[in-house]
C-alpha cells in the first residue's frame, strides 16, 4: 500500500527525514511512532505530495508519488496535523465544498446523503448549522476525520487523529477506525501516543530523529518473554517449590521463568499453593520503543 525507499527531506543542513524505508501492507493498521519533531509529519506530507522529497522515492498503491498524485490521492483519506475548515461555513457546507473541489462528479443528492452519513459516523450532528468557527477543538477534529472518510478511501493516512478529543471521543474514534479496518481499510496512523498505537496497530514503525529505527509486526514484538507473573498468598511455599526458577520476589508476587503457564499452575496447585493470579509477561511497546530509540545514543 505504502512503500518508500530511502525517502529523505533536507532543510538546509538538517535532515528532517533521513532515508526511511516504509512498508505498509494492505489491511494493516500501521502505527507510525515518534517523538515531536522526529519527522513524522514531514513524512506524511511527502506521502501526500505536499512536501517534495529531497531524495528517495515513495509509492502508494504501487504508483509513484507525487507524479501519480491525480490517480493516487482520490483513493486516500488524509488528516494532516490538525483539521482544516472554512470558519464561516457549517460543517455540512465545508464537506460539500471539499468534495466538490476535485474528483469524480457526484450527484448532489448522493453527496448530501454521504455527508449526513459521515457526520453521523464521526459523531457530529448532521443538521448543525453553526459555522465551523464555533466548533470546539474536538468537533473540528471530528469534522476533519469526516472529510477524510467522505469518499470511502481504501487507505487512510491520519496524523494524530485523536488530538483534542476527550476520553470518550478517543474511544469512539478508535472503534470507528477499527471497524473501518475490519471492513478492509488500510490505516496509516501517525502518533506520539504510545498507548494509542499499542491498542490499535497490527504493525509498528518507529521514527527517531528522522531515521526509521524499527519496523515490525506487533505480534512479533509482543511475544512472551518467558516469564510468568504469579500472585499468591503462600509466597514462601511457592518459592520453596520452584527453587532456582524464581527471577524476582515481591510482596505476594513472584516472577517465574516458565514457558508453559498451565503446567506451572498445575504444579503449584497440586502442591497446595494457592494462586490468586497468573499471567505470562509480555513486553510493553513502551519498553521496546525506548530500547530502540535510546540504544544507539548510549553506545556512541
Which parts of this chain interact with other proteins (CB under 8 A)? 45, 48-52, 69-70, 73-74, 76, 78, 80, 82-89, 93, 97-98, 100-103, 144, 147
Separation of alpha carbons 34 and 212, rounded Å: 9
Minimum distance, C-beta of residue 57 to other proteins, in the bound complex (Å): 17
Closer by beta carbon to other proteins, 51 or else 289: 51
Min CB(221)–other proteins separation in Å: 31
CB of 212 to other proteins, least distance (A): 21
Q: Look up residue 134 and give its DSSP letter.
A: G
Q: Which is nearer to other proteins, 81 or 175 (CB)?
A: 81
Residue 45 vs 203, nearer CB to other proteins: 45
Q: Which residues contact 155 (CB under 8 A, 6 or more apart)?
A: 1, 2, 60, 61, 75, 76, 77, 185, 186, 187, 188
> How many Cα neighbours within 13 Å face the side chain of 266?
4
Q: How far is the CB of 86 from other proteins (least distance, A)?
A: 6
Q: Are 7 and 20 in contact (CB under 8 A)?
A: yes
CB of 74 to other proteins, least distance (A): 7
Cα 170 from Cα 123, distance rounded (Å): 11
Q: Which is nearer to other proteins, 88 or 249 (by Cβ)?
A: 88
Q: Which is nearer to other proteins, 61 or 98 (CB)?
A: 98
Sign of CA dihedral 285, 123, 91, 185: positive
Quote the CA–CA distance of 154 and 165 in Å, as a whole number. Answer: 24
Amino acid at each position: 500500500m505504502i512503500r518508500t525507499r530511502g525517502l529523505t527531506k533536507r532543510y538546509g543542513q538538517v535532515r528532517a527525514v533521513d532515508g526511511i524505508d516504509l512498508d505498509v501492507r494492505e489491511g494493516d493498521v500501521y502505527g507510525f511512532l515518534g517523538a515531536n519533531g522526529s519527522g513524522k509529519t514531514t513524512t506524511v506530507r511527502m506521502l501526500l505530495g505536499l512536501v517534495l522529497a529531497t531524495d528517495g522515492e515513495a509509492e502508494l498503491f504501487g504508483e509513484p508519488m507525487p507524479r501519480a498524485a491525480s490517480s493516487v490521492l482520490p483513493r486516500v483519506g488524509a488528516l494532516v496535523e490538525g483539521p482544516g475548515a472554512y470558519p464561516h461555513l457549517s460543517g455540512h457546507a465545508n464537506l460539500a465544498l471539499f468534495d466538490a473541489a476535485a474528483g469524480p462528479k457526484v450527484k448532489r443528492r448522493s453527496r448530501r446523503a454521504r455527508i449526513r452519513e459521515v457526520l453521523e459516523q464521526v459523531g457530529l450532528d448532521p443538521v448543525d448549522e453553526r459555522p465551523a468557527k464555533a466548533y470546539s477543538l474536538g468537533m473540528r477534529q471530528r469534522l476533519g476525520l469526516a472529510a477524510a472518510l467522505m469518499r470511502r478511501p481504501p487507505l487512510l493516512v491520519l496524523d494524530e487523529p485523536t488530538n483534542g478529543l476527550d476520553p470518550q471521543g478517543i474511544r469512539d474514534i478508535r472503534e470507528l477506525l477499527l471497524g473501518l479496518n475490519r471492513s478492509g481499510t488500510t490505516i496509516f496512523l501517525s502518533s506520539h501516543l504510545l498507548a494509542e498505537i499499542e491498542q490499535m496497530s497490527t504493525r509498528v514503525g518507529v521514527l527517531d530523529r528522522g531515521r526509521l529505527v524499527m519496523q515490525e509486526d506487533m505480534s512479533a514484538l509482543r511475544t512472551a518473554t518467558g516469564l510468568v507473573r504469579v500472585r499468591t498468598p503462600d509466597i514462601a511455599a511457592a518459592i520453596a517449590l520452584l527453587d532456582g526458577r524464581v527471577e524476582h520476589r515481591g510482596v505476594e508476587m513472584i516472577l517465574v521463568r516458565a514457558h508453559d503457564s498451565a503446567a506451572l499452575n498445575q504444579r503449584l496447585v497440586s502442591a497446595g499453593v494457592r494462586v490468586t493470579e497468573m499471567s505470562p509477561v509480555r513486553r510493553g511497546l513502551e519498553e521496546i520503543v525506548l530500547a530502540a530509540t535510546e540504544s544507539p545514543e548510549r553506545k556512541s
